[in-house]
């Protein structure tokens, strides 16, 4: 069993679970003194540990072995227009499994969700918990950070820098990812942004905004994909091309 310990609480000489993880270990998994587990901090560090104390709301460990996982060769940020229902949970989960370094939920003009500031924080926290659970399940030691939902305009206003910026597009003239990577040159990009729109795509104004910030339109093939499928397609293709 794997447990998450955030970086600020990562103390190999005295590992301890937060109350939520401790509850899961004791009350759900029925773990006890002497049981072994794996803990990770979401920044590449992992340790094999043994429980030395397990009581209500508190689990502490002694460290048996530590290791450090190297980050993936390319840091991919998924800028995802928030879909309706629970599909964002699925996208976050699969993005973790596919090696995304960051997830930026976007509130496009065609997005059903219109989050106020307080609700945006709750949404972000919920999706971050989904990311943690996915990382625990798939053995990913690098945890992607989920940003608060924001408009594309506010997203670009942050001024994050990328070596390559892409936007999934239904418009004529969009190129295959492989062709754009070939045009990028022999040196592979270290930081990539890929934007995926809502059902019905980004508005023309949003596409123009993305292009003005350097986004290259990419085609996902002749079949129109649902937004969650498009996100997984983009991450899968980029992982195949950039992680090896």
CATH of the domain at 125: 3.40.1280.10
Same domain, 50 and 126: no
d(CA 217, CA 211): 8
State whether 129 and 29 are in the same domain: no
**Bridge-based pairing state of the strands 191-196 and 102-106:** unpaired
Distance CA 143, CA 155 (A): 21
Q: Is the pLDDT of residue 105 over 90?
A: yes
* Whether residue 103 is found in the same domain as residue 46: no
Read off the pTM.
0.92
The enclosing domain of 37 has a CATH number of 2.40.240.20
Does 225 lie in the same domain as 135? yes
pLDDT at 112: 67
Find the mean pLDDT for residues 48-61: 92
The Cα-based distances of 189 to 97, 141, 180, 216 in angstroms read 21, 22, 11, 14
Question: Are 109 and 220 found together in one domain?
Answer: yes
Whether residue 154 sits in one domain with residue 107: yes
pLDDT digits (tens, 9 = 90+) for 168-183: 998 888 999 999 999 8
Domain containing 196: what range? 75-242
Per-residue model confidence (pLDDT) at position 200: 84
Question: Residue range 83-104: average pLDDT?
Answer: 95
CA–CA distance, 239 with 132 (Å, rounded to integer): 20
90 and 162: one domain?
A: yes
Residues 64 and 88 in one domain: no
Number of domains in the chain: 2
Domain boundary among 12, 42, 68: 68
């Amino acid at each position: 069993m794997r447990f998450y310990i955030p970086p600020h609480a990562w103390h190999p000489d005295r590992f301890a679970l937060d109350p939520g993880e401790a509850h899961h270990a004791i009350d759900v998994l029925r773990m006890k003194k002497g049981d072994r587990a794996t803990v990770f901090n979401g920044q590449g560090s992992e340790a094999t540990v043994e429980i030395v104390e397990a009581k209500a709301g508190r689990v502490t460990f002694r460290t048996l072995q530590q290791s450090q996982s190297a980050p993936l060769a390319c840091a991919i940020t998924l800028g995802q227009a928030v879909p309706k229902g629970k599909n964002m949970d699925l996208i976050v989960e699969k993005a973790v499994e596919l090696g995304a370094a960051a997830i930026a939920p976007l509130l496009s003009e065609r997005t059903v969700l219109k989050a106020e500031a307080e609700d945006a924080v709750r949404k972000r926290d919920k999706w971050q918990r989904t990311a943690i659970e996915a990382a625990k399940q798939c053995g990913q030691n690098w945890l992607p950070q989920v940003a608060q939902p924001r408009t594309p305009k506010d997203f670009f206003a942050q001024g994050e820098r990328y070596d390559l910026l892409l936007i999934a597009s239904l418009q004529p003239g969009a190129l295959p990812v492989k062709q754009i990577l070939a045009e990028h040159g022999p040196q592979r990009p270290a930081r990539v942004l890929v934007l995926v729109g809502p059902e019905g795509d980004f508005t023309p104004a949003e596409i123009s905004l993305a292009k003005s910030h350097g986004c290259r339109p990419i085609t996902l093939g002749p079949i129109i994909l649902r937004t969650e499928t498009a996100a997984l397609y983009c991450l899968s293709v980029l992982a195949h091309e950039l992680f090896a």
